[in-house]
Amino acid sequence: MMLIGSWQVMAQQPQPPDMIFYNGKIVTVDDHEVNERLGTIAQAIAVRGEDIVAVGTTQQVRALAGPNTKSYDLKGKMVTPGYAGTHDHPMDWDTINPSIVQKVITDNDHIERFFNDRAEVVIRDFPKVLTEAVSKAKPGQWIRISLLFGKDYRYSREIMSLFGRQINKQMLDQAAPNNPVQVRGGFTGQVVNQTGIDKTIAYYGDQWDKFVWNPYADLLRTGVGGTNYRWLEQDVLYPPAKLAEIYRYGLSWMGGYGVTINASGLYTPGAVRAYRMLDQKNQIAIRVPWSYQWRPRPDFWSDPYLPEFMSAMLENGSKHLWLTGLWPSDNGAGCMTLPGTSPEVKAEEECHFAPDWRGGENATALYNMVKAGGRLAGIHTGGDRDIDYILDTIQKASKDGGLSLDDVRKLRHAYDHTGGSPRPEQIPILKNLGMVVGGYNMQLWEGGAQEMFEEYGEKGVEWMQPRKNLYDGGVHNSVEIDRPIGYTNLTYFHVLWIGITRKDLNGKVWAPNQAVSREAMMKSATYAGAYYAKRENVLGSLEQGKWADMVVLDRDYLTIPVDDIPNIRVLMTMVGGKMIHLTPSLARDWGIPPAGAQVELGGNPAQW
């Protein structure tokens, strides 16, 4: 019945489509409710310009072709809406993708070197690589060495254990007294020599002493840092044009995974500038709903002007880059209502949104933003007790700001990770407030479930990415990647598979009562992601009138064995009617050129 309706709408259109894809299995996700149903399965889809103009049977849609319509035979392949990564850091990960960096940066710009191996190899070869880099560098030129975590992303713990120990500031100072040096981790983390620290401080000038929260406090003492690499890289190390080019390739690279929405906080002026440069040139391959944050100055939000101004700017931007949320403070933290397995566990907890943490700076900033009508989105969070504080602040600030419950629901506040929340009692509150959450399945896989079990027991593990509870409670939950998969063999489908199986890298299943079906994970990846980005009216499903963002797969996600899901290959990704990723095999079949950064730069899809 729905196919006939689509046909009737299209039959009234005066112009034929530009493209028709037929003889496929089109998973439309036109069921928009919070459930595990994907809706209509069609056979063909038609695109004109940036939009979908018809979905139906092969016979119905092919009948719409005009003399200039290009028709592509899917030969039974599955087509889905494009996927969303609603909390990711493309601006952080692109600079540790060797394929991209080595394309854009030469030794004339600065020195870049990469390891992607076990710690024992790094320990053995690092002095030699550092010496070679110093010999190539001109005086004052940056040297940057990235220590990645392997093609299967298994070496994170052993690599990061080197920072401040076998690889330390003193070593870098002695080897390169005349050059700034950064050693970057394969996720977060860095070691910087004194010359690099001095260059960074000089860049910020007198603003340095005004930081309420100094991102380099630990780095100044030890040379070892965490997420503060992004200020050094994006504001100091990479020139704006080079950074923008790295990001241009990086966003296209993400399209190779089928990702068409990649939400993130853009933490630095350098990152915002680079993305804006790309958007002005129409060079952003996918869609980037971004959140504003400037962590060193939460005191900015005490000035009534900033909350009012930033709240008024929400939703501004283009079809490829728009401001979706505000994040006025530091991260949430891993404080839990659970008792913990030892006194030491509880002693280490911090609740960053508690009224008395750092004088209440986080809670105050959040309160002022929400009261002004702003939307919380993009924020890292941890345990359920901190979520209690966040929810309390949202409700109080909304009331004090004169916002009705309907106003609050329209804002669609969001929080990310769900690494220890929501507990079951919080889910009705989320639903009542119209909130949406993310969820990074990779935490389960890479060892986070084991850590949670050791510190809080089985109940804590059940509160990690509790998708079954969220679906049962009627709360949209989207998919986060939140890991730099660009230099690995992992894909977006590996992330979905973890949510379906809840297996870690050793094959152990954690809290199986929170596993969901493959249909549920597909809905989280598509419609729920568009809902998070507040673009579900034009994205997230394949329906007439929506933007033509879709993906062609090499196998049937809905019927193959579950453990074959990580092996799915994305053969084509389309954004707004443009094929931004196309593998050589499908390109040959359709008689058109291959496309996309993963193909151009020799990623795995270049061989498909």
Task: For residue range 327-339, list pLDDT tens digits in order.
Answer: 988 888 889 999 9
Categorize the per-residue pLDDT at 14 as very low, low, confident or very high, splitting at 50, 70 and 90.
confident
Helix, strand or coil, per DSSP, at residue 248: helix
487, 98 Cβ separation under 8 angstroms: yes
Report how many domains make up the chain: 2
- Please, what is the average pLDDT of the chain? 95
Q: Is residue 7 predicted with pLDDT exceeding 60?
A: no
The neighbouring-strand residues paired with 184 are 146, 190
- DSSP letter assigned to residue 343: H
**DSSP secondary structure string, 120-175?**
HHHHHHHHHHHHHHHHHPPTT--EEEEE--TTTT--HHHHHTTBTTTB-HHHHHHH
The average pLDDT across 430-459 equals 97
Distance in angstroms (rounded) separating the CA atoms of residues 442 and 217: 29
Q: Counting beta carbons within 10 angstroms of the beta carbon of residue 129, is it exposed (0 to 12), middle (13 to 18) or buried (19 or more)?
A: middle
Closest CA to 152 of 443, 505, 471, 502: 505
Q: Kindly report the pTM of this predicted structure.
A: 0.96
Distance in angstroms (rounded) separating the CA atoms of residues 510 and 507: 10
Distance in angstroms (rounded) separating the CA atoms of residues 580 and 593: 11
Distance in angstroms (rounded) separating the CA atoms of residues 79 and 219: 48
Find the CATH number of the domain harbouring 557.
2.30.40.10
Q: What is the dihedral of CA 381, 382, 383, 387, to 10 degrees?
A: 0
Distance in angstroms (rounded) separating the CA atoms of residues 70 and 43: 17
The neighbouring-strand residues paired with 572 are 552, 582
Residue 193 is assigned to a structural domain of this protein: yes
Residue 188 is assigned to a structural domain of this protein: yes
The neighbouring-strand residues paired with 266 are 292
Residues 153 and 231 both lie in one domain: yes
Residue 514 is assigned to a structural domain of this protein: no
pLDDT digits (tens, 9 = 90+) for 296-349: 788 888 899 999 999 999 999 999 999 999 998 888 888 999 999 999 999 999
Convert 81-94 to b/e letters by CB count within 10 Å (16 or more is b): bbbbbbbbbbbbbb
Amino acid type, 71: S
Residues 144 and 78 both lie in one domain: no
Give the pLDDT confidence score for residue 1 in this predicted structure. Answer: 34
CB neighbour list of residue 128: distance below 8 Å, 6 or more residues apart: none
Which tokens sit at 473? Answer: 């409670």
**DSSP secondary structure string, 260-322?**
EEE-EEE-SHHHHHHHHHHHHTT---SBEEEEE--TT-GGGGGSTHHHHHHHHHTT-B-SSEE
Helix, strand or coil, per DSSP, at residue 528: helix
Name the phi and psi angles at 367, rounded to 5: -60, -50
Work out the number of other CB atoms within 10 angstroms of the CB of residue 555. 15
Categorize the per-residue pLDDT at 13 as very low, low, confident or very high, splitting at 50, 70 and 90.
low
Residues 547 and 587 both lie in one domain: yes
Residue 399 is assigned to a structural domain of this protein: no
- DSSP letter assigned to residue 221: H
Residue 419 is assigned to a structural domain of this protein: no
Find the CATH number of the domain harbouring 120.
3.10.310
Residues 120 and 74 both lie in one domain: no
What is the residue whose two structure tokens read 């680079």? 274
Residues 73 and 127 both lie in one domain: no
Distance in angstroms (rounded) separating the CA atoms of residues 142 and 157: 27
Which tokens sit at 471? Answer: 């679906």
Distance in angstroms (rounded) separating the CA atoms of residues 225 and 185: 10
Categorize the per-residue pLDDT at 12 as very low, low, confident or very high, splitting at 50, 70 and 90.
low
Give the pLDDT confidence score for residue 496 in this predicted structure. Answer: 98
Residues 131 and 38 both lie in one domain: no
Residues 29 and 117 both lie in one domain: no
Q: Counting beta carbons within 10 angstroms of the beta carbon of residue 17, is it exposed (0 to 12), middle (13 to 18) or buried (19 or more)?
A: buried
Residue 439 is assigned to a structural domain of this protein: no
The average pLDDT across 586-607 equals 98
Residue 121 is assigned to a structural domain of this protein: yes
Which tokens sit at 8? Answer: 């009737």
Residues 65 and 126 both lie in one domain: no
Q: Is residue 10 predicted with pLDDT exceeding 80?
A: no
Work out the number of other CB atoms within 10 angstroms of the CB of residue 397. 23
Residues 15 and 71 both lie in one domain: yes
Residues 116 and 218 both lie in one domain: yes
Closest CA to 95 of 378, 581, 484: 484
The neighbouring-strand residues paired with 509 are 503
Give the pLDDT confidence score for residue 341 in this predicted structure. Answer: 97
261, 303 Cβ separation under 8 angstroms: no
Distance in angstroms (rounded) separating the CA atoms of residues 377 and 375: 6
pLDDT digits (tens, 9 = 90+) for 369-392: 999 999 999 999 999 999 999 999
276, 309 Cβ separation under 8 angstroms: no
Among 201, 223, 238, identify where a domain stops.
238
Among 206, 238, 270, identify where a domain stops.
238
Residues 64 and 129 both lie in one domain: no
Domain of residue 571: give its range: 2-82+542-607
The average pLDDT across 164-185 equals 97
Distances (CA, A) of 313 to 263, 306, 309, 317: 17, 10, 6, 9
pLDDT digits (tens, 9 = 90+) for 219-270: 888 999 998 899 999 999 999 999 999 999 999 999 999 999 999 899 899 9
Give the pLDDT confidence score for residue 538 in this predicted structure. Answer: 99
Q: Counting beta carbons within 10 angstroms of the beta carbon of residue 272, is it exposed (0 to 12), middle (13 to 18) or buried (19 or more)?
A: middle
Residue 120 is assigned to a structural domain of this protein: yes
Residues 118 and 227 both lie in one domain: yes
411, 454 Cβ separation under 8 angstroms: no
Among 238, 263, 284, identify where a domain stops.
238
